[in-house]
Amino acid sequence: MQADPSELTVAVVIPCRNEEKYIARCIDSVLAQDYPPSLVSIYVCDGLSEDGSEGIARDYEKRFPSVHLLINEKQTTPYALNLGITRSVSDVVIILGAHAELYPDYISNCVSCLNRPDEIDCAGGVIENVYEDTTAGIISTAMSSGFGVGNAHFRTGTREGFVDTVAFGAYRRSIFEKAGLFDDQLIRNQDDEFNYRIHKAGFRIFLSPAIRSKYYVRASYAKLFRQYRQYGYWKVYVNKKHKTITTFRQVIPLLFVLFLFGGIPLSFVHRYFCYLFLSGLGIYFILSSGNAFKKAGKVSWVPGIILTFFLLHFSYGWGYFLGIIDFLLLGKSIRKEEKLTR
């Protein structure tokens, strides 16, 4: 017999650091849910913010019994997530970003999915990017393309069903009890590594387009390059930890980088190598341009989208290459100096 959805308690965990512009809007969207308020608790895990974020969260804590402020002394995202998960006692845990804003039926749709008879353990939906300037708009458009981000269906919104990952997922607590918490040593890719473990433990993730959220994008090309370089870099650590390549598509950007680094010098060795290299670049440019025109709302955005595609692919591949050198060839341990939260 299925449980009544109204009987499931839900905790929303929000890692936060220096997000005074967004955190109130994020909390408000959770408070405005059509799900019974008495069954929802909110945990803002602040990583020693240097702006007004902590004060805003503390004010909400004073005014709303369901809001709890937790101090994330280590300032990293996985530590914040684990802090909120372990402090909460709910049936379901939703992982949320401070830049996100939920539609009013987000929680009720998540719980409805979890209560379906086809054994769904984690439910999530589609992100609608809200960009704050032209550059952010161009980057968001490129990241909504399968050519740019592969099969990240929560970005592209191209399917409903069981998937590898979702953003802002609603997880049954049994997942954490069996598969463990997030790896708090990871600077990036903690979601990816956790999803690998829960799939390995037999849990299933479901994406429903009815589950909708907005995400306010504050982006630049430099930040995008750094972010995806870190994704590629830490992916190697995840591979080493689990002694396997989790998906073949993760090595495609690495092959792209090796093609570029190898093709340029080989082009000077023999003209056939030059022809092969230029042909490969030409095919990539044709595919990139075609997908850019397909996704662009404005023709003037096409060059920026093409650039974004290149940065996504090159930075991830370059990070993966550096990760191979550090983690596999040199056997380096995890560097502790970088502090990142959502």
The predicted-structure confidence for 5-45, as pLDDT tens digits, reads as follows: 558 999 999 999 999 999 999 999 999 999 999 999 999 99
Q: How distant, in Å, are the alpha carbons of 24, 99, 181, 190, 289 from that of 230?
A: 29, 20, 21, 12, 26
The predicted-structure confidence for 293-340, as pLDDT tens digits, reads as follows: 998 878 999 999 999 999 999 999 999 999 999 999 988 876 544 444
The residue-averaged pLDDT of 179-204 equals 90
pLDDT of residue 308: 94
Structure token digits, residue 194: 């956790």
Q: Where are the beta strands (DSSP E) in the chain?
A: 10-16, 40-46, 67-71, 92-95, 100-102, 122-131, 161-163, 167-172, 205-217
Q: What is the Cα–Cα distance from 167 to 101, expressed in whole angstroms?
A: 12
- Does the pTM surpass 0.95? The reply is no
**The CATH fold of domain 5-219:** Spore Coat Polysaccharide Biosynthesis Protein SpsA; Chain A (3.90.550)
Which residue type is seen at 98?
Answer: A
Rounded to 5, what percent of the chain is helix, strand, coil? 55, 15, 30
The predicted-structure confidence for 238-270, as pLDDT tens digits, reads as follows: 888 888 876 777 889 999 999 999 998 998 888
Sign, Cα dihedral of 308, 156, 29, 90: negative
Q: How far is CA 96 from the centre of its chain?
A: 10
| Angle at alpha carbon of residue 103, lines to 105 and 113, rounded to 5° | 40
Question: What residue ranges do the domains of the chain occupy?
Answer: 5-219, 233-329
Question: Going by DSSP bridges, is the β-strand pair 92-95/67-71 parallel, antiparallel, or unpaired?
Answer: unpaired
pLDDT mean across residues, the chain: 89
3-class DSSP state of 5: helix
The residue-averaged pLDDT of 152-172 equals 78
